[in-house]
Amino acid sequence: MRWRLFFTTLAITALSVGATWLTLQPLLARAAKGADWHQASTLVLGLDLAVSALLGFLILNVFIGRASERTEAAALKRWSSELAMEREVNQRRLEELTRSNDALLRLQAELVAADRLATVGKLASGVAHEVGNPLSGILGYLSVLRMRAKDNAEVQDLSTRIENEVQRIDSIVRSLLELGRPSRGKAQPIDVRPVIDSCVKLLGAGKEFQNVRVKIEGPNALWLRAEPGPLSQVLVNLLINGAQAMDGKGDLTITLDEAGRVVVDDSGPGIPADVKARLFAPFFTTKPAGQGTGLGLAVSRHLLSQFDGTLDLADKPPPGARFIITLPVP
C-alpha cells in the first residue's frame, strides 16, 4: 500500500514538473535574451525546492512506514509467542489438576474400600469364632456316624455330602478370619521364584489343571519382600480362578519382572466392564451359586497389604484377564 502511494505521488510530481517546465519555457527563452532572468531563476529555484521537499517527504514516509511495519510485525510475533507459552502453561496446569483429581478420586475409593473391609473383618472375626466350634462338632459326629454305618451305602453317601458342605462352610469361616487377622510380622526378603514353582507343582496334579498349560517367564531368581505363606495363598487363588475361568482348558502365564511384579495372565473370556468395579468387594462372585464365596480376591488383596504389597486387575489384549501382584523390592 505504501509503495503504491509512493509511485502514485511520484507520477503526479513528474506531471507537475512537466507542466511547470512547459510554463517556464517561454520565460527561460526570454531569459536567454537577457529579459526577466531574475523572475525565471526564482521560479526554477522554487520548483526545485518544492520537488526536493516532496520527494524527501515521500522517501521518509516510505522508510518510516517500513520501520513501523517491522515494529508491528515484531510486536505481533512476540505477543503470539507469549500467548502460545501461556497456552502451554495453562494446558500443563489443567493436566496436573486432572491427574490430581483422578488421584484424589482413587484415594477416596481406596479409603472407602479399606474402611468397608476393616468393618467386615471385625464383624467376621467374631462370627467366625462362633461358627467354628459347631462346625468342628458336626465333623466329629459325621466321623462317628460313618464308623457305625460302614455297611450302609446310603448313609455313607449322605455323610460324604454333608462333610463336603461343612468343609465349604469351614473354608468360608477361615477366609473371614483372614480378613480380620493382623499381619504376622514375618515379611522378609525372599526369592519368589521357588514359591511360584511350588504353587504350580502343587496345583498341577489337580483335576482342574489336567488340560491347563502353565508357563513361567522371567528371571530364575527374583528377591522381593513378602511372607511365603500368604503369598502362596494368593498365587494359588489366582491360578485356580484362572483355570476355572477357562473351564479347565487353556494357558496360564506367570511373568516376573525386576520392578517387583508378578503378573498372572489367563486365556479365558476376560472380565466384563460392569464387573471390574466390584471384583475385589467381599462376597462378590460371578460363579454359580454354591461354587464361590466371593472372598478369594478380597482376602488375597488384604493378605498382600499386610507387607505393603498390592493386587490389581490390569488391562490386556483379549482374550483373558491379567492380575498383577506388586511387592516391595528389598
Residue 177 in domain: no
d(CA 84, CA 232): 55
Residue 140 in domain: no
Residue 141 in domain: no
Which pLDDT score, from 0 to 100, does residue 108 have? 62
Residue 181 in domain: no
Grid cell listed for 262:
508378578
Residues 311 and 196 in one domain: yes
Residue 180 in domain: no
Last residue of a domain, one of 133, 154, 174: 133
221-268 confidence digits (pLDDT tens): 999 999 888 888 899 889 989 998 898 899 999 999 988 999 999 999
Residues 288 and 209 in one domain: yes
pLDDT-derived band of residue 58, with 50, 70 and 90 as boundaries?
low
- How many structural domains does the chain have? 2
Q: What average pLDDT is seen over the chain?
A: 76
- The domain in which residue 19 lies consists of 1-133
Residues 109 and 200 in one domain: no
Question: Has residue 179 got a pLDDT over 80?
Answer: no
Higher pLDDT, 133 or 144: 144
CB 288 within 8 A of CB 278: no
Higher pLDDT, 79 or 106: 79
Residues 128 and 210 in one domain: no
Grid cell listed for 169:
462352610
Residues 76 and 195 in one domain: no
CATH number, domain of 312, equals 3.30.565.10
Residues 196 and 321 in one domain: yes
* Mean pLDDT across 135-158: 85
Of the ranges 87-91, 121-125, 319-323, which one carries the lowest mean pLDDT score? Answer: 121-125
Residues 102 and 196 in one domain: no
**Percent of the chain whose predicted confidence (pLDDT) is above 70:** 63
Examine residue 319 and say whether the peptide bond preceding it is cis (omega within 30 degrees of 0).
yes
Which pLDDT score, from 0 to 100, does residue 35 have? 47
Residues 245 and 115 in one domain: no
Residues 212 and 278 in one domain: yes
Residues 113 and 230 in one domain: no
Question: Has residue 326 got a pLDDT over 90?
Answer: yes
pLDDT-derived band of residue 76, with 50, 70 and 90 as boundaries?
confident
* Mean pLDDT across 205-216: 87
Which pLDDT score, from 0 to 100, does residue 47 have? 57
Residue 172 in domain: no
Which pLDDT score, from 0 to 100, does residue 217 have? 94
Question: Has residue 184 got a pLDDT over 60?
Answer: no
Cell 478420586 maps to which residue?
A: 105
Residues 17 and 94 in one domain: yes
Residue 25 in domain: yes
Question: E-strand spans in the chain?
Answer: 188-191, 211-217, 223-226, 249-257, 261-266, 310-314, 322-326
Residues 123 and 206 in one domain: no
**Percent of the chain whose predicted confidence (pLDDT) is above 90:** 17
Last residue of a domain, one of 133, 150, 174: 133
* Mean pLDDT across 63-68: 59
Question: Has residue 290 got a pLDDT over 80?
Answer: no
SS (H, E, C) 149-203: CCCCHHHHHHHHHHHHHHHHHHHHHHHHHHHHCCCCCCCEEEEHHHHHHHHHHHH
Last residue of a domain, one of 133, 160, 176: 133
23-45 confidence digits (pLDDT tens): 555 655 555 555 455 555 555 55
Residue 27 in domain: yes
